[in-house]
Amino acid sequence: MGQVAITVNGRSYRFDCGDGEEPRLKELADYVKSRMETLTREHGSIGEERLLLMAALTIADELWDATDGSVDGDTSTNTADAERRA
């Protein structure tokens, strides 16, 4: 079992993950941190909970746009939509 230490907004967190998944988890954490840093520059010190929620909503919005709103976890819908558009 792998383990990754991630520091976000000055706080450290430990996460367990599968062996070999550490680089991906670090990459994802870096992406979340970059979104949080951007929001902090834009909005200043707005509180950790609000900052995390804003980052989550921003990332969810990006996912929504990337999947044309099909983010329910059912990949068959995404495949069928892509086939219809082709």
pLDDT of residue 12: 95
Task: Measure the CA–CA gap between 1 and 38, rounded to whole angstroms.
Answer: 33
Task: Please give the structure tokens belonging to residue 40.
Answer: 């902090």
Q: Give DSSP secondary structure letters for 18-61.
A: -TT-HHHHHHHHHHHHHHHHHHHHHH-S--HHHHHHHHHHHHHH
pLDDT tens-digit map of 8-32: 888 999 999 999 999 999 999 999 9
- For residue range 36-83, list pLDDT tens digits in order: 999 999 999 999 999 999 999 999 999 999 998 886 655 554 555 555
Regarding predicted confidence, which is higher, 85 or 55? 55
Q: Which two tokens stand for residue 13?
A: 């967190």
